[in-house]
């Protein structure tokens, strides 16, 4: 196959309720497809559910963004270059296990359950504000973004007053439209802001996640300033933008499927399974799960050579009909827990319990307190983030 004939990645979404046709075609045609990526290189693409889990759970595939073969889906590649410490998502093997283990205890089901009353309070307060304004409001601005932003700020010990700064820079960093310099500058601004914050906490570690890490790692003799800045960056960015977009998209999907919404309203026990289906259905982070082979590996009859880049596309994998019958059907009672929307294997999303709790509390509270909620615009007129690395909505006008 010549370069000209190879499919090109990434492919923008054109319909909010289905993966791009090219992804479906790739999955139907063959297990692995060779594609061209923005830096002119080639990479393998994995689109089938079983292969996706196999690659993501195989330590011979590295997450190291500094490896020359790592496949970036944006021009200019590694947004972390120039940083003095790699984030956890870019580490492998023992280094990764140690970094993850250090903070894992903050995100267990038990720890997240302890945060639920405060999350509920935050959601109720924001819905009070919505109700007091009335008329038409932008749900992104009034609920989707503030909920996970407030929660992650309180957890980390980041001042929420700075939300315009970190939300704006995260958006710039996650946009595939922005030129390389703008994305790198956004990362630089966020890191420098967090570096100052960490310096202040080093002098006076409070009882927040970053403060607790400083105390613990100093006691163990492994504390490093830059490593904590990298952790703070990962958690602040991943902790708000992802969940915010799922709140918006989930709200649209529920409003568009009133029969299924009614079942959840009647029985909140159905909300958590419904969230798994919404995560599968939208797979908002579908290309961050890229890897580079560190040795020759055979996957479904094809040998991936050492140094080759592999992009595991979660979206077509989550719409693989061999695993999810009639994947185009949003079926909130499907029981879709084995989706790969949070990835799979050693790097599977660290914040997934927190994301589930936030989504559950938001959907239960929003539709209980505003049962007449409706879109203020037709779905076709909504501003979807077609070009972003994290799919979602820029605005979501609603009324009731």
Residue 288 touching ligand HEM (CB under 6 A): yes
Residue 129 near residue 229, CB atoms below 8 Å: no
Q: Which of 55, 112, 194, 355 binds ligand HEM (CB under 6 A)?
A: 355
Residue 145 touching ligand HEM (CB under 6 A): no
Nearest in space to 282 (alpha carbons), one of 12, 17, 13, 15: 17
Q: DSSP for 273-328, please give it.
A: HHHHHHHHHH-SS-SS-EEEESS-EEETTEEEPTT-EEEE-HHHHHT-TTTSSSTT
Rounded Cα gap, residues 186 and 171, in angstroms: 9
Rounded Cα gap, residues 154 and 210, in angstroms: 11
Nearest in space to 49 (alpha carbons), one of 342, 331, 375, 319: 319
Residue 330 touching ligand HEM (CB under 6 A): no
- Least Cβ distance, residue 140 to ligand HEM (angstroms): 15
Residue 210 touching ligand HEM (CB under 6 A): no
Residue 24 touching ligand HEM (CB under 6 A): no
Q: Which of 210, 254, 287, 349 binds ligand HEM (CB under 6 A)?
A: 349
Residue 252 touching ligand HEM (CB under 6 A): no
Other Cβ atoms closer than 10 A to 196: 11
Residue 289 touching ligand HEM (CB under 6 A): yes
Q: CB under 8 Å to 90, separation ≥6 — which residues? A: 63, 64, 65, 66, 80
Q: Which of 246, 252, 274, 293 binds ligand HEM (CB under 6 A)?
A: 246
Count residues near ligand HEM (CB under 6 A): 26
Residue 55 near residue 299, CB atoms below 8 Å: yes
Rounded Cα gap, residues 125 and 135, in angstroms: 18
Residue 89 touching ligand HEM (CB under 6 A): yes
Q: Which of 32, 341, 357, 398 binds ligand HEM (CB under 6 A)?
A: 341
Of 70-78, 165-173, 347-355, 374-382: span binding ligand HEM (CB under 6 A): 347-355
Q: Which of residues 25-44 bind ligand HEM (CB under 6 A)?
A: none
Q: Which of 230, 242, 248, 271 binds ligand HEM (CB under 6 A)?
A: 242
Q: Which positions touch ligand HEM (CB under 6 A)?
A: 56, 63, 88-89, 100, 152, 234-235, 238-239, 242-243, 246, 284-285, 288-289, 341-343, 347, 349-351, 354-355
């Amino acid at each position: 196959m010549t370069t000209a004939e190879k499919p090109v990645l990434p492919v923008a979404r054109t319909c909010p309720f289905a993966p791009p046709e090219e992804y479906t075609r790739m999955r139907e045609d063959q297990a692995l497809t060779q594609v061209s990526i923005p830096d002119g290189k080639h990479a393998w693409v994995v689109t089938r559910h079983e292969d996706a889990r196999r690659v993501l759970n195989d330590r011979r595939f590295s997450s190291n963004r500094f490896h020359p073969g790592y496949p970036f889906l944006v021009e200019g590649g590694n947004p972390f270059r120039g940083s003095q410490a790699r984030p956890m998502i870019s580490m492998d093997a023992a280094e990764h296990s140690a970094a993850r283990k250090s903070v894992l205890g903050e995100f267990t089901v038990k720890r997240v359950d302890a945060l639920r009353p405060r999350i509920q309070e935050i959601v109720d307060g924001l819905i009070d504000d919505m109700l007091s304004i009335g008329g038409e409001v932008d749900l992104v601005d009034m609920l989707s973004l503030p909920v996970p932003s407030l929660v992650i700020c309180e957890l980390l010990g980041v001042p929420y007053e700075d939300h315009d700064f970190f939300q704006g820079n995260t958006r710039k960093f996650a946009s595939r439209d922005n030129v390389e310099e703008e994305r790198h500058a956004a990362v630089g601004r966020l890191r420098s802001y967090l570096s100052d914050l960490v310096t202040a906490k080093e002098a006076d570690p409070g009882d927040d996640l970053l403060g607790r890490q400083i105390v613990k790692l100093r006691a163990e003799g492994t504390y490093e300033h830059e490593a904590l800045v990298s952790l703070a960056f990962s958690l602040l960015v991943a902790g708000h933008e992802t969940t915010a977009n799922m709140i918006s998209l989930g709200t649209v999907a529920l409003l568009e499927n009133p029969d299924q919404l009614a079942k959840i309203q009647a029985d909140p026990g159905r909300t958590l399974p419904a969230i798994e289906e919404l995560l599968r259905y939208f797979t908002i982070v579908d290309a961050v799960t890229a890897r580079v082979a560190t040795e020759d590996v055979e996957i479904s009859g094809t040998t991936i050579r050492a140094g080759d880049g592999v992009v595991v596309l979660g979206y077509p994998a989550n719409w693989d009909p061999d695993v999810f019958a009639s994947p185009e059907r949003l079926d909130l009672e499907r029981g879709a827990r084995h989706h790969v929307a949070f990835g799979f294997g050693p790097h599977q999303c660290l914040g997934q319990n927190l994301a589930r709790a936030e989504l559950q509390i938001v959907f239960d509270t929003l539709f209980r307190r505003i049962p007449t909620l409706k879109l203020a615009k037709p779905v076709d007129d909504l501003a979807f983030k077609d070009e972003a690395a994290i799919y979602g909505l820029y605005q979501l006008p609603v009324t009731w």
